[in-house]
């Protein structure tokens, strides 16, 4: 079994510590079993003894990419304090690795960069670097992915990474450009179509967005995010019944953390379609989830429209005014004016 195999490898390394084959197999075992600190030390040892081996740098990058930053620095400190270890010592005061000639290899992207520098045919290292940066540093990810696409303009995976980083940077026109490039080279892809559709929505290209996301939802029938965006799109196209149907499906599919996003939109859709009772129901659910002040304003507006008795509407207007929501000055000004009108109406009706 794997425990016995790992123990044999450990014993083999103890008996022949310079044997890179044994040590490499041991490091791979440790990485696959989430023993990241042990794997880290073994890959550092292998690099010290063969600093031009790109594979070792790539595997060090994989190890570091799976370790939380705090664990990385704890591992570095452990290595510094363990003077009797067979592993290399690091100059922490300088923040540099002596065996890497001023290279800071404390982070995965630097290890992947070194692997690719040593072997330009190792596209996997560049892909792994890009994926790591997508999680940790979008600006750097954008730069390295653009470089990757320039070097490998027909590579499907680099193009998909470019589409993802452009979307996360909210550069929606760049998303559309990269999607067009992707379609010219590769078959359509549901992930690409989804991001393309959501970007079209952001650019107010509602018909195109609707077409793309309908392609996706036919295959991904349980995707709450696609149903949610189709609801937003149809609301903008003033197809309110269809919009409500999509958002209600998103609510049904949703995890609890997303309900605070979906209920307000459902409330707004019903408000725009003059279905004030349904709007009130969903806005109340939204406010109980989020406590967003602007929802008080919308509740006030819907009560104001629905009932002749304005007391509940007045209550919500006053609650919204008390929140002093400076991000919605227009709503705040309207509420102040409407409170005065309703109070005057209340006074003269006595």
Summarised one tens digit per residue, pLDDT across range 29-59 is 999 999 998 999 899 999 999 999 999 999 9
**What does the pLDDT read at residue 100?**
37
pLDDT value of position 106: 54
Collect the ranges in the chain with pLDDT lower than 50.
83-105
pLDDT at 309: 93
Burial class (CB in 10 A: 0-12, 13-18, 19+), 270: buried
Q: Which pLDDT tens digit goes with each residue over 243-253?
A: 999 999 999 99
To the question of pTM greater than 0.85 for the whole model, the response is no
**Residue 29 exposure: Cα atoms within 13 Å on the Cβ side:** 16
What pLDDT, on a 0 to 100 scale, did the predictor assign at position 76?
59
Give yes or no for a contact between 130 and 109, defined as CB atoms under 8 angstroms apart: no
pLDDT of residue 70: 61
């Amino acid at each position: 079994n794997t425990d016995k195999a790992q123990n044999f490898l450990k014993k083999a390394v103890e008996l022949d510590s310079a044997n890179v084959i044994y040590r490499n197999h041991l490091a791979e075992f440790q990485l696959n079993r989430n023993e990241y600190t042990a794997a880290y030390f073994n890959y550092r040892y292998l690099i010290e003894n063969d600093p031009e081996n790109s594979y070792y740098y790539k595997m060090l990058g994989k190890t570091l990419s799976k370790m939380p930053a705090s664990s990385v620095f704890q591992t570095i400190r452990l290595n510094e304090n363990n003077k009797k270890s067979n592993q290399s010592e690091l100059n922490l005061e300088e923040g540099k690795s002596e065996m890497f000639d001023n290279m800071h290899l404390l982070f995965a992207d630097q290890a992947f960069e070194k692997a690719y520098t040593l072997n330009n045919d190792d596209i996997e290292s560049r892909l792994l670097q890009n994926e790591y940066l997508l999680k940790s540093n979008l600006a750097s990810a954008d730069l390295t992915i653009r470089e990757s696409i320039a070097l490998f303009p027909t590579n499907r995976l680099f193009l998909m990474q470019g589409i993802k980083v452009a979307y996360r940077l909210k550069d929606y026109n760049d998303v559309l450009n990269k999607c067009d490039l992707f379609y010219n080279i590769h078959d359509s892809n549901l992930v690409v179509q989804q991001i393309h559709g959501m970007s079209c929505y952001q650019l107010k290209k509602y018909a195109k967005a609707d077409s793309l996301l309908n392609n996706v939802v036919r295959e991904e029938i349980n995707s709450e995010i696609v149903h949610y965006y189709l609801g937003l799109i149809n609301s903008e196209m003033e197809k309110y019944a269809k919009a409500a149907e999509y958002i209600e499906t998103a609510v049904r599919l949703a995890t609890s953390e997303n309900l605070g996003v979906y209920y307000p939109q459902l409330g707004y859709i019903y408000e725009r379609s003059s279905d004030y009772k349904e709007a009130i129901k969903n806005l109340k659910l939204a406010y109980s989830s989020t406590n967003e002040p602007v929802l008080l304003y919308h509740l006030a507006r819907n009560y104001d429209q629905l009932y002749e008795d304005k007391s509940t509407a007045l209550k919500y207007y006053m609650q919204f005014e008390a929140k002093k929501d400076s991000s919605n000055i227009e709503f705040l000004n309207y509420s102040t004016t409407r409170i005065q009108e309703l109070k005057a109406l209340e006074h003269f009706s006595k």
